[in-house]
Amino acid sequence: MESGKQRLLLHTCCAPCSTSVIERLRSDFHLSAFFFNPNIHPREEYELRARQMREYARKAGMEFIEPKYDTERWFASTRGMETEPEGGKRCLVCYRLRLESTAEYAARSSYDYFTTTLSLSPHKNAQNINQIGREISQEYRIKYLEADFKKKDGFKRSLELSKTHDLIRQDYCGCIYSKQGKEKEA
């Protein structure tokens, strides 16, 4: 481990979003990638995103941690919220589920911090994500790094880096409902 750097467990939603976040954080932290995304549907899409992220983490010299793809837990948590719009209640539950697992693992494995790449997306409200991060930080007694990674051209930089590294960015957020929403628009 690089001397003097604190350990940060980075919840990563996919490789394209992780590119500029990793670039931004790596001078200050020793990073590990935590790929817990049971929201992603279907399984083939999950496997594609996991494979890309695993490979990107390897290139970046980071540990890659992939917990169980627990879709039952995700569907149980979001039941009754199927018709919520993107950014609504279902998404808040989805952020919380993924951040809780990240914090739980980080606390158990003696990381100094946890955070997530989720705020990189222009479709996601960083205030909501940070509010959930702060609450979970207290519950699990581990520091949360507040961020809005889309700012300072973070999203634009992720597009450049994704192109450089040949990473595929899908046109829907991840869950079956976001996929159906995109298909309706087409």
State the residue for tokens 């790596």.
Answer: 26
179 binds ligand SF4, rule: CB under 6 A: no
| Identity at 80, one-letter amino acid code | G
Nearest alpha-carbon partner for 110 in 30, 24, 13, 23: 30
Q: Which stretch binds ligand SF4 (CB under 6 A): 88-96, 108-116, 130-138, 146-154?
A: 88-96
- DSSP conformation letters of 42-90: SHHHHHHHHHHHHHHHHHHT-EEE-----HHHHHHHHTT-TTPPTTSHH
- Give whichever of 30 and 98 is closer to ligand SF4, judged by the CB atom: 98
- 16 sits near ligand SF4 (criterion: CB under 6 A): no
**86 makes contact with ligand SF4 (CB under 6 A):** yes
Binding residue (CB under 6 A) for ligand SF4 from 12, 117, 130, 178? 178
Count of residues in contact with ligand SF4, rule CB under 6 A? 10
What residues line the site for ligand SF4 (CB under 6 A)?
39, 86, 90-91, 94, 173-175, 177-178
